[in-house]
C-alpha cells in the first residue's frame, strides 16, 4: 500500500490487549481515511445498542492519507465514534502535530475499546505500543499535563489528552492536543474519560513514507504550497487569524447574538474582530505542522479582570461563542474563556451555546434561582460565566453545573422547557455562523450533517460567500446567500467535497486553493489512485451516505434532518432582518438529487449502487428503501 501505512492499532483497555491490524486496501480506496475510514470501521464493528459511554464503545483516532507529507493544511486528524453528546455518529477534526507523528510511527490510526482499571495512557513510540498508568496526570488541566508528559516522554512527543471535563464526563468534553488544538466537537473527551484514558502519546523514531510517485508528489507539493500560502485568504488568516473577517460576518448577519435572538450587533465588528485581537493581545502566530497559513494565535492579556498569561488564543468560534452569543463585547474575556475551556477540555462552541441557552432560560424564568443555586445569569456577565459557571460545568457541580454539562438539548429536555430556543441539530450545538445572514444553503447542510449542526462538514459556508468554484466539474454557481435558489444542487456537491476533506483530513482553509485536478493528482501521486473527477466525487458521496446509514442504525430518520424553531425563526436586525429560509423546500430537492428517501433519511438502493457500495447494500437490504 502506498500513501497510507495500512496499519491500525486495536487496543482493548479492559483486557489490556494490543494488536496491530492491516486493514483491507479496498477500504482505503472506498473511504479514503480520516472520518470516512473511521465510519467504515465503525459500521463493520460497532454495536449500535450500546450506551455511548459503555466500556465496549469504540473511540477511533484516524489519519488521512496526506498526514506528514509537508503540505499546508494536510496534516489534520480525525476522532470518531458514537458521540456521547448526541448519541449517534460523531466525528471531530483536530489540527496540530499528532497525525503526522502517528504516521511516522507507521500507523494510520487506533481503535480503542474497553475501560482501563485505573487512569491510563497509551504510549506509541515508534512501532512499540504500551499501556501505562497515568494517575499522576489525572485531574490535571491539559496545559500542566502536556508539560508533564513532555518531561516524561520527551519534548518532541505529541499527545492527545483530556482535561478534567472529560474525566468528569461532561458531555461536550473535547480532546486537546498541545494545549491549543482540539478535537472539539461531539464530546469524545467524555468517552475517553469513561475509558479511564488520560492521553495517547506518540513519538516517532523515523520519518519514512512510501508514496506511489514521490517525484511527482514533490513537484505537486511545491506548487500547491506556493499557491496555498500566497492566496489572499491565507494572508488574511495569517495576519489576523480566523476572526479576521468577523467584521464582514457582523454586517451580513452571520454572527449570532444572544442565543440567536438577534443577527446584528454593530459594535462587535470593531470590538471582537481579528485585527483588534492582533492589536491588543497577539504576541505570536502559530499553526499546524507544515502549514504555511498559520492561522492560530498566541495571546497575552495583561489587564484584569480577564488577565491570562501568554498562551493559546481564541479562534473565531470561541470569540463569538463567548462574545456576542453571551451578550458580551469583551475580547479579553474571550481570550480567558478560550484558555480555560482548553485547559479543562471542553468544546467552546457547545459550552458557549449551552450557557447562552441558560441565560435566556433564566431571563424567561424557565430556569429559576432554585435551579441555579442562587446564581443570577445575565447577558454579558462574563465574570459569572468564567469564575462560577464554567468551573461548575467542568466539575458537574451543583444542580446547574450538572444540568448544563449535558449540553443544551438534554438540559432543556431535563428541565422540560426551552427546547424550542436551543440552537442545535441532532443534539450538536450550532457553530457561530447564522444561515439567516450567512446563507440559506448553510441551513440545509447544517440539517443534513450526520454529526449535527456543523460548518466544517462541508464547504457550503465558503461556497455561498463565493470563495469556492470548480469550473472543471461545471460547478460555477453564483449564489445569492439569502435565497434558496440552486442551494440543494450546490449542497449535493458540497457534501461530497466535505466528506473528502474530512476523510483526507484536509483543512478547509487550505483546501480553498486546491482544484479538483489537484485533488486527483494528490491521490494519484500519494496513493496511486487513478481517479477521474466522477470517481472522486463518488467517494465523497459514498462517505456521506455511510454516515447516514450509521445514523439510521441509531434510529435517526428524515425528521432529524432539521433545525430548531429558534434557528428557523425570521432573522432579526441588520441585513438579515426578516430573513427566513424554506428548509423543507431545499431539503426535498436535496433528497431528490441525492436519492435519499425523505421518510427514512437513508440513501436508496439506487444511490448505494451508484456509489459501488455493494457490500453495504447486501447488509442493509432490509433497511434501505
Task: Select the residue interacting with another protein from 128, 235, 383, 621 (CB under 8 A).
Answer: 235
Taking Cα atoms as reference points, which of 312, 382, 317, 372 lies closest to residue 347?
317
How distant, in Å, are the alpha carbons of 63, 127, 380, 542 from that of 205?
A: 18, 9, 49, 36
CB of 361 to ligand SF4, least distance (A): 34
Handedness of CA 398, 162, 327, 465 (dihedral sign): negative
Query: Distance between CA atoms of 234 and 182, rounded to whole angstroms?
Result: 21
Interface residue with another protein among 467, 593, 609, 614 (CB under 8 A) is: 467
Q: How far is the CB of 330 from ligand SF4 (least distance, A)?
A: 25
Cα separation, 151 vs 577, whole angstroms? 54
294, interface contact from ligand SF4, another protein, none, CB < 5-8 Å by kind: ligand SF4
Which 3 state secondary structure label does DSSP give 549? Answer: helix
Cis peptide before 46 (omega within 30 of 0): no
Candidates 6-14, 507-515, 547-555, 584-592 — which segment interacts with ligand SF4 by CB under 6 A? 507-515
Q: Which is nearer to another protein, 31 or 477 (CB)?
A: 477
Kindly write out the interface string for residues 35-74 of this chain, putting x where it contacts ligand SF4 by CB under 6 A and - elsewhere: --------------------------------------x-
x/- binding map, residues 93-112, to ligand SF4, per CB under 6 A?
A: --x-----------------
**Measured distance CA(563)–CA(258) in Å, rounded:** 18
Rule CB under 8 A: is residue 271 a binding residue for another protein? no
Q: State in angstroms the smallest separation of the CB of 250 from another protein.
A: 7
Interface characters, 471-490, with another protein (x: CB under 8 A): -------x------------
In angstroms, the Cα distances linking 507 to 378, 467, 504, 528, 593 are 36, 15, 9, 22, 27
How far apart are the C-alpha atoms of 536 and 542, rounded to whole Å?
10
Nearest to 45 by CA among 126, 117, 111: 111
Q: Is 99 in the site for another protein (CB under 8 A)?
A: no
What does 510 bind: another protein, ligand SF4, none (CB cut-off 5 to 8 Å by kind)?
ligand SF4
Residue list 290-329, contact with ligand SF4 (CB under 6 A)? 291, 293-296
Tell me whether residue 218 or residue 575 sits nearer to another protein (CB atom): 575
Q: Which does 30 bind (CB under 5 to 8 A by kind): ligand SF4, another protein, none?
A: none
Considering the rule CB under 8 A, would residue 248 count as an interface residue with another protein?
yes
530 alpha-carbon distance from chain centroid: 30
Pairing outcome for strands 7-12 and 77-82: unpaired
Comparing CB distances to another protein, the nearer of 245 and 422 is 245
Q: How far is the CB of 470 from another protein (least distance, A)?
A: 10
Q: Do the bridges between strand 128-133 and strand 120-125 make them parallel or antiparallel, or are there none, so unpaired? A: antiparallel
Burial zone of 145 (CB within 10 Å; 0-12 exposed, 13-18 middle, 19+ buried): buried
| Binding test (CB under 6 A) with ligand SF4, winner from 99, 199, 382, 510 | 510
- Contact criterion met (CB below 8 Å) for 612 and 538: yes
275 or 557: whose CB is closer to another protein? 275
Choose from ligand SF4, another protein, none: what does 507 bind? Cβ within 5-8 Å by kind: ligand SF4
Q: Which is nearer to another protein, 92 or 240 (CB)?
A: 240
Contacts of 410 (CB under 8 A, 6+ apart): 171, 427
DSSP assignment string, 1-46: --SS--EEEEEETTTTEEEEEEPPHHHHHHH-SHHHHHHHHHHHH-
Cβ at position 74, least distance to another protein in Å: 21
The distance of closest approach from Cβ of residue 541 to another protein in the complex, given in angstroms and rounded to an integer, is 24
Residue 48 binding result from another protein, ligand SF4, none, given CB thresholds of 5 to 8 Å by partner type: none
Residues that bind ligand SF4 (CB under 6 A): 73, 95, 287-288, 291, 293-296, 507, 509-510
Residues that bind another protein (CB under 8 A): 232, 235-236, 239-240, 244-245, 247-248, 250-252, 269, 275, 465-469, 478
Amino acid at each position: 500500500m502506498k500513501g497510507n501505512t495500512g496499519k491500525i492499532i486495536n487496543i482493548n483497555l479492559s483486557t489490556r490487549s494490543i494488536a496491530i491490524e492491516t486493514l483491507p486496501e479496498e477500504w482505503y480506496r472506498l473511504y479514503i481515511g480520516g472520518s470516512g475510514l473511521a465510519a467504515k470501521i465503525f459500521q463493520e464493528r460497532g454495536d449500535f445498542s450500546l450506551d455511548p459511554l459503555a466500556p465496549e464503545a469504540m473511540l477511533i483516532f484516524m489519519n488521512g492519507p496526506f498526514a506528514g507529507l509537508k503540505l499546508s493544511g494536510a496534516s489534520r486528524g480525525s476522532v470518531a465514534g458514537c458521540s456521547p453528546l448526541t448519541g449517534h455518529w460523531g466525528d471531530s477534526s483536530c489540527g496540530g502535530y499528532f497525525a503526522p507523528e502517528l504516521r511516522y510511527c507507521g500507523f494510520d490510526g487506533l481503535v480503542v475499546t474497553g475501560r482501563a482499571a485505573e487512569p491510563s495512557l497509551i504510549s506509541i513510540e515508534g512501532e512499540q505500543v504500551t499501556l501505562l498508568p497515568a494517575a499522576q496526570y489525572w485531574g490535571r488541566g491539559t496545559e500542566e499535563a502536556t508539560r508533564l508528559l513532555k518531561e516524561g516522554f520527551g519534548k518532541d512527543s505529541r499527545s492527545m489528552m483530556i482535561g478534567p471535563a472529560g474525566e468528569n464526563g461532561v458531555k461536550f468534553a473535547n480532546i486537546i492536543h498541545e494545549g491549543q488544538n482540539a478535537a472539539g466537537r461531539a464530546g469524545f473527551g467524555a468517552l475517553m474519560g469513561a475509558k479511564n484514558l488520560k492521553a495517547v502519546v506518540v513519538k516517532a523514531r523515523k520519518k519514512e513514507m512510501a508514496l506511489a510517485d514521490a517525484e511527482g508528489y514533490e513537484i505537486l507539493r511545491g506548487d500547491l504550497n506556493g499557491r496555498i500560502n500566497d492566496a489572499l485568504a491565507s494572508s488574511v488568516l495569517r495576519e489576523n487569524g480566523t476572526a479576521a473577517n468577523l467584521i464582514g460576518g457582523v454586517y451580513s448577519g452571520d454572527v449570532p447574538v444572544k442565543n440567536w435572538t438577534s443577527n446584528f450587533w454593530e459594535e462587535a465588528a470593531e470590538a471582537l474582530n481579528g485585527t483588534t485581537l492582533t492589536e491588543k493581545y497577539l504576541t505570536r502566530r502559530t499553526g499546524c505542522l507544515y502549514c504555511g497559513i498559520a492561522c492560530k494565535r498566541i495571546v497575552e492579556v495583561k489587564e484584569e479582570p480577564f488577565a491570562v498569561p501568554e498562551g493559546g488564543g481564541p479562534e473565531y468560534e470561541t470569540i463569538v461563542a463567548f462574545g456576542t452569543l453571551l451578550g458580551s463585547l469583551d475580547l479579553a474575556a474571550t481570550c480567558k474563556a478560550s484558555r480555560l475551556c482548553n485547559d479543562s477540555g471542553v468544546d467552546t462552541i457547545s459550552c458557549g451555546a449551552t450557557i447562552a441557552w441558560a441565560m435566556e432560560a433564566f431571563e424567561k424564568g424557565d430556569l429559576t434561582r432554585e435551579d441555579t443555586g442562587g446564581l443570577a445569569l445575565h447577558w454579558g456577565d462574563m465574570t459569572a460565566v468564567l469564575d462560577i459557571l464554567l468551573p461548575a460545568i467542568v466539575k458537574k457541580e451543583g444542580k446547574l453545573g450538572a444540568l448544563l454539562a449535558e449540553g443544551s438539548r438534554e438540559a432543556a429536555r431535563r428541565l422540560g422547557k426551552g427546547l424550542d430556543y436551543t440552537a442545535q441539530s441532532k443534539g450538536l450545538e450550532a457553530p457561530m455562523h447564522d444561515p439567516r445572514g450567512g446563507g440559506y444553503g448553510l441551513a440545509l447542510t447544517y440539517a443534513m450533517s450526520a454529526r449535527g449542526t456543523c460548518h466544517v462538514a462541508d464547504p457550503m459556508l465558503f461556497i455561498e460567500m463565493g470563495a469556492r468554484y470548480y469550473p472543471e466539474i461545471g460547478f460555477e454557481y453564483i449564489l445569492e446567500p439569502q435565497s434558496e435558489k440552486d442551494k440543494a444542487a450546490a449542497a449535493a456537491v458540497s457534501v461530497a467535497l466535505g466528506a473528502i476533506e474530512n476523510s483526507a483530513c484536509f483543512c478547509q482553509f487550505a483546501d480553498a486553493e486546491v482544484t479538483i485536478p489537484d485533488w486527483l493528482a494528490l491521490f494519484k501521486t500519494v496513493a496511486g489512485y487513478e481517479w477521474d473527477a466522477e470517481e472522486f466525487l463518488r467517494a465523497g458521496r459514498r462517505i456521506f451516505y455511510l454516515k447516514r446509514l450509521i445514523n439510521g442504525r441509531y434510529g435517526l430518520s428524515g425528521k432529524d434532518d432539521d433545525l430548531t424553531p429558534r434557528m428557523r425563526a425570521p432573522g432579526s436586525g441588520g441585513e438579515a432582518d426578516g430573513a427566513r429560509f424554506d428548509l423543507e423546500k431545499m431539503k426535498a430537492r436535496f433528497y431528490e438529487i441525492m436519492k435519499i428517501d425523505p421518510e427514512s433519511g437513508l440513501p436508496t438502493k439506487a444511490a448505494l449502487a451508484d456509489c459501488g457500495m455493494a457490500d453495504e447494500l447486501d447488509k442493509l437490504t432490509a433497511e434501505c428503501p
